[in-house]
Amino acid sequence: MTEREKVIEVRNLRNQFGAQVVHDHLDLDVYRGEIVGVVGGSGSGKSVLLRSIIGLNRPAAGSVTLLGEDMMRVADARRAQIESRCGVLFQNGALFSSLTVADNVAVPLREHYRLPLALMQRLANLKIALAGLPAEAGAKFPSELSGGMVKRAALARSLALDPDILFLDEPTAGLDPIGAAAFDQLILTLRESLGLTVFLITHDLDTLYTICDRVAVLSQKRVLVADTLARVENYDDTWIREYFQGPRGRAAEAAAEIAATRGERTSKSIAAEAAPTKN
């Protein structure tokens, strides 16, 4: 069997704010092409982990290897190159309110390339379409968009530089269930069509059951377990039991089962497709 390529390798990570230790001896591996859902109680350090991986937070100790480069030791120019291979969708979208959607999407293009204006506009329009927005959304300002459209505009911007890895911080938070399900399917489609690796922080159990290949649980300042949903659900830990086997967890699992009977894709069917066939 060929060894899977690790695109994120976090080792022995420690993050501390004053006396508060958020992470201690935290390890995590993410492999190319997978969608990893990161869950954990509020304040368990999911966003701090994301920020440490993409270089927005300097850890107190440990290492982060991204696309094969040790980000604490790499030269600045190479670090910038690696960081440009990562697209990020922040929790609130973080769009510039004074720029149109198309101009927001063009911001990373302007930062990294010197391109003719017309080409930049065409690339921005392409990303807007990839994110499932109508072409006319490009001329709108963020304040003129619905919550779901803001998420898609921010997604379009995170795709601007054709990233290898997409980092999503609670992408479906604040969306209605239909909007959230549509966004989940969009992530799945983009993973398949663009070959993305996805690091996804979520509180949304439906998202875990529908699109995640593996789930990493943050608890006790570290990644307690990172495995398939079936294995994580049965992990012997109080928080995990309450999270997955509580009413919301059971409802999300049931919804995924129903979706599967309708032929829709879910984490389980994806895992079954990926599993080697036994003779």
Ligand X SMILES: Nc1ncnc2c1ncn2[C@@H]1O[C@H](COP(=O)(O)OP(=O)(O)OP(=O)(O)O)[C@@H](O)[C@H]1O
Q: With CB under 6 A as the rule, give the number of residues binding ligand X.
A: 10
7, 8, 10, 22: which one binds ligand X (CB under 6 A): 22
| Smallest separation, CB 239 to ligand X (Å) | 12
Q: Does 44 bind ligand X (CB under 6 A)?
A: yes
Q: Does 42 bind ligand X (CB under 6 A)?
A: yes
Q: Does 210 bind ligand X (CB under 6 A)?
A: no
The stretch near ligand X (CB under 6 A) out of 38-46, 159-167, 184-192, 253-261 is 38-46
Collect all residues with Cβ–Cβ distance below 8 Å to 59 and sequence separation of at least 6.
Answer: 13, 14, 15, 23, 52
Asked whether 44 and 218 are in contact (CB, 8 A), the reply is yes
Q: Does 219 bind ligand X (CB under 6 A)?
A: no
8, 26, 36, 45: which one binds ligand X (CB under 6 A): 45
Q: Which two tokens stand for residue 60?
A: 């107190």
Q: Which two tokens stand for residue 98?
A: 């004074």
* Residue of 192, 216, 189 lying closest to 202 (CA atoms): 216
**Burial of residue 32 (number of CB atoms within 10 Å: 0-12, 13-18, 19+):** middle
Q: Does 43 bind ligand X (CB under 6 A)?
A: yes
Per-residue b/e over 153-169, b at no fewer than 16 CB within 10 Å?
A: bbbbbbbbbebbbbbbb
Nearer to ligand X, 48 or 224 (CB): 48
Q: Does 202 bind ligand X (CB under 6 A)?
A: no
Please report, as ranges, the residues that interact with ligand X according to CB under 6 A: 17, 22, 40, 42-48
